[in-house]
Amino acid sequence: MSSSYFTDLAQQYIDGEWRPGTGSWDIIDFNPYDGEKLASITIATVDEVDQAYSAAARAQKQWAATNPYARRSVFEKALRLVEEREEEIAEAIVAELGGTRLKAAFELHLAKEFLREAIHLALSPEGKIVPSPVDGKENRVYRVPVGVVGVISPFNFPFLLSIKSVAPALALGNGVVLKPHQNTPITGGSLVGRIFEDAGLPAGLLNVVITDIAEIGDAFIEHPVPKVISFTGSDQVGRHVATVCAQHFKRSVLELGGNNALVVLDDADVDYAVDAAVFSRFVHQGQACMAANRVLVHRSVADEFTEKFTAKVRGLKTGDPSDPATVIGPVINSSQADALSGVVQQALAEGATALVHGTTTDNLVEPSVLTDVPADSELLRQEVFGPVVFLLTFDDEDEAVRIVNDSPYGLSGAVHTADIERGVNFAKQIDTGMFHVNDGTVHDEPIVPFGGEKHSGVGRLNGETMLDAFTTTKWISVQHGRSAFPF
């Protein structure tokens, strides 16, 4: 049962040892649906962060020198373990972050795909010989691990988004220290540590520190050992992470927020677009960086779309995430629930109309569909992390492009049209890292570059871009014969 995870794994995992933190207070892990206390974890201090990084640095040299075929076997075993423990992990996702059964299955499916890609990544670094203008010179370019990577994962897809950076960083020969979000310390942190421990990863290579910036400040990112920090979270925190990394000559890989739009052109299949839009906004209660905050509909199909969209939204069941019929579970905590209520109230105060006006009970936030939001409202330009959607109309494609791009974010998006090339041409005009024609806005595939433009992040993950994220190049030249020096 997953409940044992919350007793057995409520610890730090440092240098191959499970032990309590030595901080002066505990992080309490609550079930966001019923408020049940799942775990109490004494936090890690700055000293323990240092121990974790030191352990990773010690273990990494030998790991980097290990035959990549031998490294690969760890990820094959980790994949088998996730498959064997899938039901318990799903239960933990439902309990710890209020993910529905559907969402847990979605997250686990992707986590397994990323472990499969890590198996492949272990063998993918390739060197090359580069020509030289100097006679007799051989230029070798080696692809080598960066050393140690610090990973900071978020609360919304904690198991997946920890695996997504941890597994490739390890596969490419690095050590890792993982700091999960305080709201998801087990599924985003110690559970990942346990899986790799059981898969035979050498002790010290992966460390998990459960802590809070109130205790450690910037120690996790300032520490001299990690050469790369992989952060997934809000753009406000991402900006700070990037600034600190730059001051310490570290590379940062930032997967940040979105203010994505799903666009319905005049020739779209309206029923299909409704299905795509409802999923794109309300998957995991809208707590996804790729979720569609805004739905833009051509005026000629707006009435039909709005009627069908609001009818479908009203039919979404909000409630207990462990009930297979539930589509909308709880948001992660009360401050998130209060913020979402505040967004709806602000929109109404600015003159918006609520086509669907959901109520909030504790952390359960029912869906709201808002229209007539003023074009200059800041609400249309910010990320709304929950089941609130803005419905907008437009008269032509140029107007739609302008509205979609009128945002500091540029992560994902989608357009629906009967003409594929029209959709592709539309997508090319949008300032995002990803855009989808005739589909939803929420997609992640292991070998396709994933990331955003503008405030949505820096760098890419997945596939070959993992090499850019977690390795570096080294030039070693060999002079055959003798060089001639001018003096």
The DSSP call for residue 35 is -
**Which distant-in-sequence residues (6+ apart) come within 8 Å of 391 by Cβ?**
295, 297, 306, 309, 355, 369, 370, 371
Cα Rg of the chain, angstroms: 24
Give how far Cα 298 sits from Cα of 264, 406, 413, 428, Å: 6, 17, 16, 19
Which is it for the CA torsion 430, 434, 436, 442, positive or negative?
negative
For the record, the structure tokens of 324 come out as: 């297979």
Q: How far apart are CA 485 and CA 487, in angstroms?
A: 6
Evaluate whether 112 touches 85 at the Cβ level (below 8 Å): no
Distance CA 384, CA 341 (A): 11
The pairing of strands 368-371 and 353-356 is: antiparallel
Of 289, 366, 383, 397, which is the active-site residue? 289
DSSP-based helix, strand, coil % in the chain, nearest 5: 40, 20, 35
The active-site residue out of 113, 255, 366, 397 is: 255
Look up residue 450 and give its DSSP letter. B
**For residue 394, what are its two tokens?**
């437009």
Q: Is 138 an annotated catalytic residue?
A: no
| CA 169 to chain CA centroid, nearest Å | 15
- Do the Cβ atoms of 426 and 263 come closer than 8 Å? yes
Which residue, chain included where needed, has tokens 């949505």? 456
Largest CA distance in the chain: 83
Whose CA is closest to 255, among 456, 33, 4, 463? 456
| Cβ contact 7:16 at 8 Å | no
Phi, psi of 476 (to 5 degrees): -120, 120
Residue 305 vs residues 263, 413, 420: alpha-carbon distances, Å: 11, 18, 20
CA–CA distance, 168 with 189 (Å, rounded to integer): 16
Tell me which amino acid residue 336 is.
Answer: Q
- Look up residue 192 and give its two tokens: 């990942």
Query: What is the number of other CB atoms lying within 10 angstroms of the CB of residue 395?
Result: 11
For the question of residue 245 being annotated catalytic, the response is no
**Residue by residue, what is the 3-state secondary structure of 357-398?**
CCCEECCEECCEEEECCCCCCHHHHCCCCCCEEEEEEECCHH
Would you please indicate which residues are annotated as catalytic (active-site) residues? 255, 289
